């Protein structure tokens, strides 16, 4: 099994390093930024390029790990071949490959990746999809080398999972950013929040998020909320505070 | 050291059970809802009441753990005495007690509490404050029985910590609620999100939240965002999606 990696971003980096550690052979890395391709290729012990026409045509698996908007154009600049082409995006349909090459699919690991941070893949859910049953089994096998949680999922359902993940991860992290800003502006350390953040995440393993909700917004106490609004420095902070509080209250009434 | 607990909510429950386990003697629980007082008192092996005039006047420490808006009125209906009176609220000034009793302070554990969920207090930051140095030391000793992270903090700074916690915990949990709703509406399980939620929380132990940010909003890709907006069912979901995405993009530009 020879793999070509198209892309050298956060997900491409962590996924290829995990495959490499599982003794899957990555033979080439492409990135339009040659330094990024070179850096990752050095870790994988393989060749690299910034030219789409130089992509190795004889590999078994081509993993496209690119920005959503770049994928459709980039893949059409790679010469069709007999390998299995997959992308790793949550919100892009498998059909992006349709009509261009015979064998295609999706390999979507649901996790937040940063280049410099190791991830334990064994618990990462992989959502897979392929045009044929045979290639579905192949993707199941490959993802199964990394994770115990591999499942078939349609493009439509995968988009839902990705949308939920935007809230559960990207928006959650932005709440951490806002907390960090508030603390920094007042000479306090974000580290104070870590036990709270850990427990907030741990709670929803054992109870529904709506049951885990705490805080002043539940009762929508206008006095507390007005005082907290007055403490916020920017209009964006105030706007987010208002709408999220309003919605917490609304959900609390719904679950009463 | 005899303690009277005024309040039997989430924080009162978990804090008193932790003190009880640390062999601090809770002698009485007050709640305006007698069933709540009775239930907690049974776990603590102490007396209970729903009458403020029946509160034991001879205790060493009175812990007021009430809703912010109820505290000022309730405490004035308890006869003054020589014990140390503290509240446990993040956003209420210590001065709420001033002029009414001689000994007062604050004992604020920064954590999210639910009645039925055990919390490991050893890592919970306690922020304390008292009118005298002697009572500050007493609170340090009491909080120190539960946690290794006890620190003095002014009412002003404590309000900042509480405001940051609203974002890092209450608003974060609401993001989990929104993810849960999106998944439920589409017949998918919230459990799929757990490894992602765990990693999102774990990342900010090692990197600044702004460095940990991932997701489509960073680049503010209008195509992806419009498609995701179209998938959201309610106006509130759409509004939160828009404003949080806009602010993630703004922060990303600021950190570039």
Summarize pLDDT for B167-224 with one digit per residue, the tens: 999 999 999 999 999 999 999 999 999 999 999 999 999 999 999 999 999 988 788 8
Residue A222, pLDDT > 90, answer: no
Q: Does A197 reach chain B within 8 Å, measured CB to CB?
A: yes
Residue A16, pLDDT > 90, answer: yes
Residues of B in contact with A241 (CB under 8 A): 166
Pairing between strand B104-109 and B126-130?
Answer: antiparallel
Contact by Cβ (8 Å): B69, A223: yes
pLDDT in tens, A96-115: 999 999 999 999 999 999 99
For residue B87, what are the β-bridge partners? B64, B106
Q: Does B252 reach chain A within 8 Å, measured CB to CB?
A: no
CB atoms within 10 A of CB B67: 15
* Portion of chain A with pLDDT greater than 90, in percent: 94
pLDDT at B222: 82
pLDDT at B255: 84
pLDDT at B219: 85
At B58, the pLDDT band (50, 70, 90 cuts) reads very high
Dist CA A84 CA A135 (whole Å): 7
Q: With a CB-CB cutoff of 8 Å, which residues 147-176 of chain A face chain B?
A: 149, 157, 159-161, 163-176
Average pLDDT taken over every residue of chain B: 96
Asked if B228 lies within 8 A of A180 by C-beta distance, the reply is: no
Q: What is the dihedral of CA A120, A122, A124, A125, to 10 degrees?
A: 170
pLDDT at B241: 97
pLDDT at A184: 96
Asked if A209 lies within 8 A of B192 by C-beta distance, the reply is: no
Contact by Cβ (8 Å): A195, B124: yes
Asked if A177 lies within 8 A of B243 by C-beta distance, the reply is: no
Asked if A217 lies within 8 A of B170 by C-beta distance, the reply is: yes
Q: Which residue has the tokens 């010469």?
A: A79
Task: Give B205→chain A minimum CA distance, Å.
Answer: 7
Contact by Cβ (8 Å): B196, A204: no
Task: Give B30→chain A minimum CA distance, Å.
Answer: 21
Q: Does B207 reach chain A within 8 Å, measured CB to CB?
A: yes
Dist CA A48 CA B147 (whole Å): 52
pLDDT in tens, A47-62: 999 999 999 999 999 9
**Residue of chain A whose alpha carbon sits nearest to that of B220:** A69
Q: What is the CA radius of gyration of chain B?
A: 22
CB atoms within 10 A of CB A9: 18
Closest CA to B200 of B190, B187, B186, B214: B214
B contact test, residue of A96, A112, A181 with most B CBs within 10 A: A112
**Residue of chain A whose alpha carbon sits nearest to that of B232:** A163
Q: Does B206 reach chain A within 8 Å, measured CB to CB?
A: yes
This prediction's pTM: 0.95
Q: How far is CA B137 from CA A214, B5, B103, B105, B130, in A?
A: 30, 20, 13, 11, 9
Q: Does B111 reach chain A within 8 Å, measured CB to CB?
A: yes
pLDDT in tens, A140-184: 999 999 999 999 999 999 999 999 999 999 999 999 999 999 999
Q: What backbone torsions phi and psi does residue B26 show, to the nearest 5 degrees? A: -90, 125
User: How buried is A23 (Cβ within 10 angstroms: 0-12 exposed, 13-18 middle, 19+ buried)?
Assistant: exposed
Task: Give A226→chain B minimum CA distance, Å.
Answer: 12
pLDDT at A91: 92
Q: Does B214 reach chain A within 8 Å, measured CB to CB?
A: yes
Average pLDDT taken over every residue of chain A: 96
Dist CA B85 CA B88 (whole Å): 10
Size of interface A-B (CB pairs under 8 A): 309
Strand residues in A2-88 grouped as ranges (E): 2-6, 25-30, 47-49, 61-64, 84-87
pLDDT in tens, A59-92: 999 999 999 889 999 999 999 999 999 999 999 9
Dist CA B36 CA B30 (whole Å): 9
pLDDT in tens, B219-255: 887 888 899 999 998 999 999 999 999 999 999 998 8
pLDDT at B157: 97
Asked if A119 lies within 8 A of B199 by C-beta distance, the reply is: yes
Mean pLDDT of A29-42: 98
Mean pLDDT of B10-37: 98
Asked if A194 lies within 8 A of B180 by C-beta distance, the reply is: no
Instruction: Specify the range with the lowest mean pLDDT, choosing from B73-82, B104-113, B150-159, B214-223.
Output: B214-223
Residues of B in contact with A197 (CB under 8 A): 168-169, 172, 201, 204
Task: Give B193→chain A minimum CA distance, Å.
Answer: 7
Is ipTM beyond 0.90? yes
At A213, the pLDDT band (50, 70, 90 cuts) reads very high
At A256, the pLDDT band (50, 70, 90 cuts) reads confident
Dist CA A127 CA A143 (whole Å): 9
């Amino acid at each position: 099994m020879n793999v070509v990696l198209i892309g050298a971003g956060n997900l491409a980096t962590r996924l290829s390093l995990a495959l490499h550690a599982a003794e899957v052979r990555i033979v080439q890395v492409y990135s339009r930024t040659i330094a990024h391709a070179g850096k990752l290729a050095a870790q994988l012990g393989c060749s690299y390029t910034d030219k789409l026409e130089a992509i190795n045509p004889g590999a078994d698996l081509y993993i496209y790990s690119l920005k959503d908007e770049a994928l459709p154009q980039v893949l059409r600049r790679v010469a069709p071949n007999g390998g299995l082409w997959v992308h790793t995006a949550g919100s892009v349909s498998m059909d992006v490959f349709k009509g261009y090459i015979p064998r295609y699919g999706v390999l979507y690991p649901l996790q937040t990746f940063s280049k410099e941070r190791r991830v334990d893949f064994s618990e990462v859910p992989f959502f897979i999809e392929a045009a044929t049953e045979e290639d579905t089994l192949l993707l199941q096998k490959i993802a199964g080398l990394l994770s115990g949680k591999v499942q078939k999922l349609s493009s439509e359902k995968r988009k839902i999972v990705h949308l939920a993940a935007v809230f559960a991860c990207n928006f959650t992290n932005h709440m951490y950013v806002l907390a960090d800003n508030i603390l920094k502006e007042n000479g306090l350390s974000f580290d104070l929040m870590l036990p709270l953040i850990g427990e907030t995440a741990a709670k929803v393993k054992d109870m529904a998020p709506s049951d885990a909700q705490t805080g002043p917004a539940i009762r929508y106490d206008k006095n507390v909320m007005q005082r907290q609004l007055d403490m916020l420095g920017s209009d964006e902070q105030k706007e987010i505070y208002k709408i999220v509080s309003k919605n917490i209250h609304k959900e609390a009434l719904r679950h009463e």
